Structure 1
């Protein structure tokens, strides 16, 4: 196995786990919800679609996919230290997000009696656990694996109403699909940029993400009250929150995307636009990604985040006041983005979407 030693801040597994344990604005969270409400979900309105989707989950098309090959035994000790640090940050964030889905879905299966809901979330927990384990094995190669059992006990859980779980998780799964397929395609065009074999697994992997999103789409359309009335305003909020968070987080990792052969601005625009377009299958309203003002506001959020970090490093009263003012400006900036005119959307016919290759 590789003898690569990771740079700070991940000098040892416990530090990686501590990083994953954080509950900051840009870090993945663990969630809990109202399981009794989930138990009351009905899917009969779209029974044919549901049965088709669950049959696909049951067949487990990726059951033999997440197996390591000899490529993972390569020596990565000559990887540029800055790239290694960014790569590990990417993996730690990814394993936390995947494991978050695994434990939430497993808890839903455990706590509900509705046979449709139990079966679906059992399959999705299986998939997310498989993803998290595959990523964590790569982190083990760098001697910085996250202690997932500790994380289960120690990380703070955030309560979300079921409908918020639907919106946030649907978007998380679909944006994960869009990110993975763009990275995979990029390495097909530029194989010399593929600095680690894990990226070769992204095509089939992203099909799991897409399928999970489809499950939430059917759930929401089978329970249309989640998509009407005041919920349209919540949908706009979650669209913008997910997109803005990705934009800021990716721009903080600019060198990582440069190593992938991507301009981070181009990558984020492509991923966000694709996710926004996919969201038309279920959301009655989406974001106007053709509005340049929206991108300018995302950029302001990113620059404010960089400035906040600098102010906090400076310390003292001045630094704290500066950071507080910048956080206030972030709130105002997000509100400005929220009040940009959205795009009304007529829901398509009752058919499943297929991955966009």
Structure 2
């Protein structure tokens, strides 16, 4: 199934169009200008036989089983979100910075960017065997993550449209971007003769509750790490065009700028609540969420080294570069971040990868009885838990936004 924005964008991109301001309630009888569709077709093909994918109907893939490392769908306390963005309740809300973000979103730089051509399907048909399987898994994970962002931002826009129309419009335009990304990825899946039923996924996926401040910490990090992942892959493939197996990656340069703009808006949201950046609790949560995102990505990607190798990348080198660059971006906002350039940090992560690989191998072993498998897992699980505890106490850096007077960065500028 493909989720796509029907703004006639592929037919009228050559004509100038001005975006109308967001309105809390459109006039009665006015047709909606943008519709999210979750209908797609993907014809069955022998190229996918033997790859182990299950379908709910022809060309529609059953979503991968949810695990601790798979992309999640989120919900939150929307009433508390309204308080966060209320100018009457929150005196720290800097509408000047938020309005600058809003103008960036309204400019819609990528309105005409996501236009497919005839090379997509032809390239997909040339990807076969194990490489095809890992491409499909990559597309599914990426589509699910983008669609998750779309659902969250869309609901926030709906809930905030009365109390804070400008902020609601920003969330609405962010959901527009995520919808385009998800639709583009799901259409790519259909090139591989599979697609996701995103409507079914919406109703049947487990939603994880996070408090508003945790939602903002986590989504800020996910947008910034998404930027560094996309731009790193793009730059690598520009230098090594022979590894460009599928044209999707040619879109990553502009695509990742959406992620960057989203991250900047979420940074402004955090600065609107200084207590999320200048207290001892903020320091603990900042470091915790950095480590959560970095560890999850590192373990996830090392389970799928074949994908990065197919693109000519070294998984370990790619992950370490992305984490280091994301951390540099994050330390300009968060009061504390882990010191990822300390050699001990990646030594711990690499040991986690080794232990996790053994656990994955045990899970895949169909010959060992379940009770014996559980016993064999225990020492590995204990070892992984001990490594997680050790990394929580890893060396850290005191930093923060220069806009927060009590941050380490602001205090350094005072001299």
Q: TM-score, normalised by structure 2?
A: 0.80
Does the 8 A contact of 2:125 with 2:192 survive in 1? no
Residues 251, 72 of structure 1: CA spacing in aligned structure 2 closer, same or farther, 3 A cutoff? same
SS of corresponding position for 2:138: helix
Alpha-carbon spacing, 1:216–1:17, altered in 2? closer, same or farther (3 Å): farther
* Aligned residue-pair number: 349
The alpha carbon displacement at 1:16 in A equals 7.2
CA distance in 1, matches of 2:286, 2:387: 18
Separation in 1, partners of 2:369, 2:211: 37
Question: What is the DSSP-based 3-state SS (H/G/I as helix, E as strand, rest coil) of the residue aligned with 1:283?
Answer: coil
Q: Check conservation: 1:83, 1:256, Cα contact below 8 A.
A: yes
In 1, are the aligned partners of 2:51 and 2:129 still within 8 Å (CA)?
no
Q: Which moved more, 1:41-50 or 1:269-278?
A: 41-50
Which of residues 10, 15, 19 is equivalent to 2:63? 19
Question: 1:243-282, aligned counterparts within 5 Å?
Answer: 243-282=294-333
- In structure 2, stretches of 5+ residues that fail to align are 1-41, 405-415
Alignment partner of 2:196 out of 146, 150, 171 = 146
> Which of 57, 63, 84 in structure 1 is aligned with 2:105?
57
Note if 1:10 corresponds to 2:53. yes
Aligned-residue Cα RMSD (Å) equals 2.0
Preserved contact between residue 86 and residue 256 of structure 1 (Cα < 8 Å): yes
CA contact (8 A) 1:102 1:128 kept: yes
The residue correspondences of 1:236-315 to structure 2 (distance < 5 A) are 236-312=287-363, 313=365, 314-315=368-369
Q: Normalising to structure 1: TM-score of the pair?
A: 0.92
Q: Which has the higher helix share?
A: 1
Distance 1:110 1:4, change over 3 A: farther
Secondary structure, aligned partner of 2:62: helix
What are the ranges of 5 or more consecutive residues in structure 1 without an aligned counterpart?
A: 351-357
Q: Are 2:367 and 1:317 equivalent residues in the alignment?
A: no
Structure ID, larger Rg = 2
Deviation per CA, 1:143-197: give whole Å up to 9, x if none.
2201100000000100000111111111100000000000000011001110000
**Residue in 1 that maps onto 2:151:** 103
| C-alpha distance 155-278 of structure 1, shift in aligned 2 (>3 A) | same
C-alpha distance in structure 2 between counterparts of 1:343 and 1:247, whole Å: 20
Q: What secondary structure does 1:74 align onto?
A: helix
CA distance in 2, matches of 1:259, 1:118: 41
Please report how far the alpha carbon of residue 4 of structure 1 lies from its aligned counterpart in structure 2 after TM superposition. 6.6
User: Could you tell me whether the CA contact under 8 Å between 2:54 and 2:61 is conserved in 1?
Assistant: no
- Distance apart, 1:298 and its partner CA: 1.0
Say yes or no: does 1:91 pair with 2:133: no
Check 1:13–1:94 CA distance in 2 against 1; reply closer, same or farther (3 A cut).
farther
